[in-house]
Structure 1
Amino acid sequence: MKKSSKKTVPAKKSKSMKKFQSFKWASNQDVNEVCLAGDFNGWTPVPMEKTNDAFQALVELEPGEYQYKFIIDGQWIHDPAAPKATLNAFGTTNSVVFVD
């Protein structure tokens, strides 16, 4: 009886479906620090990078819907440029972003 010459090759693990989501706060006001917090990081404020005309952050996220806010010089503010907003348990507004 002949041995089979077929080889079994383990399937490659699929790559993560994570994508980079850009967050940006641009304002003509004098701002010292802008942080980003959301349900994707346990609502822990993370400083954003200051560029010439804005503060920016890139966050790697799985596809889904996420709520977030900016913290501007210590004040929690929703993103007026966000496509959607929702009320939170504290009666204030959270911004919503969708990651495909």
Structure 2
Amino acid sequence: MNRSVVRKQARKAFTLVEILIVVVILGILAAIVIPQFTDASDQANAASQDSMVQTLQSQVELYRAQTGAYPADLAALVTAGYMRSVPNNPVTGAAYTYTAATGLVAP
């Protein structure tokens, strides 16, 4: 009877093989999930870029409607009070491209 008590107590712990199996399963799940978050972040940055181009373009058109001419650069929108600051492109980190002759904003 003394041996059966010892065996029951010894079985309460996990074996090394069981722990390794759990670690391998967690590694496989992480390998599947992490790239999906990276893709979601890239898609969010692209959507933010498109949204900001539309916002900048609408502010350029509003400036033109009120002053009769396109602004010389995007900083003129800040000076005139149309925007608080000129944002950078979230995808590249660089400034947006603006053509004063046509009034077009590009990423």
Q: TM-score when scaled to structure 1?
A: 0.30
Q: Which has the higher helix share?
A: 2
Q: Which has the higher strand share?
A: 1
Q: Which has the larger radius of gyration?
A: 2
